[in-house]
Amino acid sequence: MNVRRLIPATALAGAVTLGLVTLTACGGTSDAADQGGKGSGGKLDVVASFYPMQFLAERIGGDHVAVNTLTKPGVEPHDLELKPKQIGELGEADVVLYLKGIQPAVDEAIAQSEGPAKVDAATLTTLEEHGTAAGDGHDHGGDHDHGGDHAEHGGEEAHEGEAGADPHIWLDPVKYAEVAKGVGAALEKADPAHAADYKKNTEALTRQLGELNTSFETGLKNTATRTFITTHSAFGYLAERYHLDQEGIAGMDPESEPSPARIKELQDIAKKDKVTTVFFETLASDKTAKTLAEDTGLKTDVLDPLEGITDTSKGKDYIEVMRSNLAALQKALGAK
């Protein structure tokens, strides 16, 4: 996928070295190791790479875990640059939850760290190939085969106009539930003493995600149009799950600039498919979306890719924001 500010390999290597030296200087063993794998006041130390991983850790771990998130609120996850202290936290954690392919800086640091249980969410479900740039002939209609050819996960960098393994699995409640089950199993293994609680919390969360999926299925079953335009092509799984057609202004990179030809194409699509709304998001620039909307006489609204929760988010957690996304889609698509 296209990513903006990649950390130079030499700089990252130096940061990793500094982080590891810091750990060694502290005596070679962490507090977590001294307590049999439990730090932070006896709780399981979990480092989550960004919000979708944080949400799972907190909901499944409950009172038994202490969760630290590498990506702070308001930071665009793709842009994350790790500090030596954060790299040190990776080495001290009991469990690290991340999603390979979203944050290259995190992927590289985790690959060079030792010790903690590393849980890659991309291995807990099946990643699929979605077009990284709209206008590449992708079709998320009802005839799409979920069991088709899938790219092996691994976060291969996808360039605009190419297909690639789409990492935005959390925007499909069904796939997110599959990831939740894997995270639950990982916490059970890391902390067997509280396995029953982790299992109970996992089951409760997957039921809630199942209800969310039903709400989307019902709420988007009958609409005036199946096409939506969005700044960031993050909604391929959601579109496929609910038989919609995502048309992205940019590709996977929410801040890439579309060509004049792409803008003209979107104008034609909007007219042909009776599109009413151009969606933008909270953590990236809305300039292109608003310009396109003005030029085509369309409305604008927020469709949140849920890469982070801030004070401007339409909800306090994943479930609430996803329900806000459903309401926005129903309005834009003319749900009956």
51/180 same-domain check: yes
Q: The sheet that has 299-302: what strands, in order across it?
A: 245-248, 227-230, 277-280, 299-302
> What's the rounded Cα separation, in Å, for the pair 45 and 47?
7
Contact predicate 98/120, CB 8 Å:
yes
Encoded tokens for 331: 């309005």
271/199 same-domain check: no
Residue 78 CB partners (closer than 8 Å, separation 6+): 1, 3, 4, 102, 103, 253, 254
Domain membership of residue 4 (yes or no) is no
Q: Which of 181, 212, 243 is the last residue of a domain?
A: 212
> What's the rounded Cα separation, in Å, for the pair 106 and 122?
14
Domain membership of residue 154 (yes or no) is no
pLDDT, tens only, 146-157: 333 333 333 333
Q: Which of 161, 184, 212 is the last residue of a domain?
A: 212
Q: Write down the residue that tokens 């335009």 correspond to.
A: 229
179/286 same-domain check: no
Q: Identify the pLDDT of residue 11.
A: 42
Encoded tokens for 335: 């749900």
> What's the rounded Cα separation, in Å, for the pair 214 and 223?
16
Q: Identify the pLDDT of residue 23.
A: 33
Q: Which domain holds residue 288?
A: 224-336
253/118 same-domain check: no
176/275 same-domain check: no
pLDDT, tens only, 181-198: 999 999 999 999 999 999
pLDDT, tens only, 282-293: 766 677 777 788
230/175 same-domain check: no
Domain membership of residue 238 (yes or no) is yes
Provide the pLDDT confidence category of residue 294 given band limits of 50, 70 and 90. confident
205/237 same-domain check: no
Question: Can you give the CATH number for the domain in which 334 is found?
Answer: 3.40.50.1980
Contact predicate 76/231, CB 8 Å:
no
Q: Identify the pLDDT of residue 37.
A: 52
Q: Identify the pLDDT of residue 13.
A: 42
251/186 same-domain check: no
87/205 same-domain check: yes
Provide the pLDDT confidence category of residue 30 given band limits of 50, 70 and 90. very low
Helix H or strand E segment including 119: strand 117-120
Domain membership of residue 137 (yes or no) is no
Query: What percent of the chain is predicted at pLDDT more than 70?
Result: 75
- Residue with more model confidence, 168 or 297: 168
Domain membership of residue 284 (yes or no) is yes
> What's the rounded Cα separation, in Å, for the pair 5 and 3?
6
Helix H or strand E segment including 293: helix 287-296
List C-alpha distances in Å: 56 to 5, 77, 186, 315. 27, 17, 12, 16
Q: Which of 212, 244, 266 is the last residue of a domain?
A: 212
As a whole number, mean pLDDT of residues 125-154 equals 47
CA distance from start to end of the chain: 36
68/182 same-domain check: yes
Domain membership of residue 138 (yes or no) is no
Domain membership of residue 112 (yes or no) is yes
Domain membership of residue 326 (yes or no) is yes
Total domain count, the chain = 2
- Residue with more model confidence, 122 or 262: 122
Decide if pLDDT at 18 tops 50: no
296/196 same-domain check: no
pLDDT, tens only, 39-65: 557 899 999 999 999 999 999 999 999
246/112 same-domain check: no
The four Cα atoms 33, 13, 3, 303 give a dihedral, to 10 degrees, of 20
